Amino acid sequence: MILEQILRRDIGCAAYLVGSEAAGEAAVVDPRIDMVDEILALAAREGLRIRYVIETHNHADHVAGHHQLAARTGAAIAVHEAAGVAYPHRPLRDGDELALGEVRLRVIHTPGHRPEHIVLAVIDTSRGDEPWAVLTGDSLFIGDVARPDLAVDGREGAGTLFDSLHRHLLGLPEGTLVYPGHVAGSLCGRVSNRMTGTTIGFERRFNPALAIATRPDFVRYMSENLPERPPNMHRIVELNRGPAPLALHPAAPMDPAAARRLLDQGGQVLDVREPASFGQAHIPGAIGVWLDGAQFQNRVGLVVPVDTPLLLVAAASSAAARATTALAVIGYTNVVGYLAGGIDAWRAAGQPVAQIPSMTVAELQATRERLQVLDVREPGEWASGHIPGAIHIPFSRVAAQAAALDPQRPVAVICGSGERSMVAASLLRARGRDDVRNVAGGMAAWRAAGGPTTAGA
């Protein structure tokens, strides 16, 4: 049996190639749109013909690659009969099995995250009839379970998920290997563990969600401290259910004059350079989200309009190309082009630039009585320790809640490391505040320097 995991750690996605070396047949489970070439190369290397492309559910956080894989291999797309998809497919039901030589993929219907959700028990009949592994999609993660509020009322979904976990998944042999559809970085759950596999027995013993014995207690637990919903989720779900693939188009280079016309017509600048370079000089009104920082797509999705024409500013054309692909993964098809020559070309053309100065934690400590300290981390981070007297607004809500800040006092923006704070500072700068500073190193540097903190909500 062959079982290969394909990872994208940007937003914590995992896909799988599973099949039989002897039969030369395989299935692909939960492929992302930007994994297609890698999966095809892997199958070719192993001498495998892809017979099935299986979706465990209609994904809400990324655009799937089932259309592209099916078109390039002739494979059948398989998804649960309740998925409501508009493309030709093999409808799956609980208990169905897909045969790949000696390997069997047994469908287990596990609603909760979404009504159509399935997991796949992987059985190698040459070894026995018990599952060797289970591909759990967005039901059971490592140290966590999937959020229940993306398709139905969260309490209803949580109750259904409890039933699915306890009636089906936890009944598997404890040595069954667990391979989830998401790892750390995903908004589809609260998973923070960076491991990529586990076992049913280990999760029974150590997963806090599975330690909850009653349905009402589980529902309460699953209603607390969920991350922000994938902001573009309804659009992504419809793209994944739709009859046609999402076309990937390269971003076109634009000179400063063409870029200026785009902006004058209502376009938005997304600057994907690292925070220090963005702070030193950027196009006025730009939103700065670092391409190589953590959670690039999720952060863009939370603060950048999905329907506004986008102009990318990057350190190089190759970075603009990577950003375009990364944005397509979350359904952003609105990238018109990128600024050829970057910010240097813009400045050389006589166009204006804006700045967001950085400050050290020592400078913050010396001047914080004269500043508004704006902490843009998530509520759990804030509650675990923040600067006394700071104001708390998560970075994704800064644009909507900017009026809560005192217009007469300068703002020092801080997060965990200096990445989200620059996103938030760019949102404030774009709204006309020129008294914004970004705290380099964030709370990690503040604690390392012995700065005082207070805990609590």
Whether residues 176 and 268 share a domain: the answer is no
Q: Is residue 455 part of a domain?
A: no
Whether residues 344 and 396 share a domain: the answer is no
Q: Is residue 247 part of a domain?
A: no
Write the pLDDT tens digit of every residue in 279-299. Answer: 999 999 999 999 999 899 999
Q: What is the mean pLDDT of residues 147-161?
A: 89
**Tell me, what CATH number does 283's domain have?**
3.40.250.10
What confidence category does residue 227 fall into, taking pLDDT thresholds of 50, 70 and 90?
A: confident
Query: Domain end: 183, 207, 240, which one?
Result: 240
Considering only CA atoms, which of 317, 346, 344 is closest in space to residue 256?
346
Whether residues 22 and 160 share a domain: the answer is yes
Is the model's pLDDT at 91 over the cut of 70? yes
Tell me what pLDDT residue 103 has: 98
Is the model's pLDDT at 44 over the cut of 80? yes
Whether residues 46 and 92 share a domain: the answer is yes
pTM of the predicted structure, to 2 decimals: 0.92
Active site residue 188: no
Q: Please calculate the CA angle 12-332-399 and round it to the nearest 5 degrees.
A: 85
Write the pLDDT tens digit of every residue in 4-25. Answer: 999 999 999 999 999 999 999 9
Whether residues 431 and 309 share a domain: the answer is no
Whether residues 200 and 56 share a domain: the answer is yes
Write the pLDDT tens digit of every residue in 443-456. Answer: 999 999 999 999 97
Whether residues 152 and 12 share a domain: the answer is yes
Catalytic, out of 27, 191, 270, 415: 415
What is the rounded average pLDDT for all residues in the chain?
Answer: 95
Whether residues 73 and 135 share a domain: the answer is yes
Is the model's pLDDT at 249 over the cut of 90? no
Query: Domain end: 317, 348, 379, which one?
Result: 348
Q: Is residue 453 part of a domain?
A: no
Whether residues 162 and 197 share a domain: the answer is yes
Whether residues 296 and 194 share a domain: the answer is no
Instruction: Write out the residue range of the structural domain in which residue 220 sits.
Output: 2-240
**How many domains is the chain built from?**
3
Q: Is residue 454 part of a domain?
A: no
Query: Domain end: 187, 213, 240, which one?
Result: 240
Q: Is residue 9 part of a domain?
A: yes
**Tell me, what CATH number does 150's domain have?**
3.60.15.10
Q: Is residue 133 part of a domain?
A: yes
Q: Is residue 456 part of a domain?
A: no
Task: Name the least confident of 93-107, 113-127, 179-193, 442-456.
Answer: 179-193
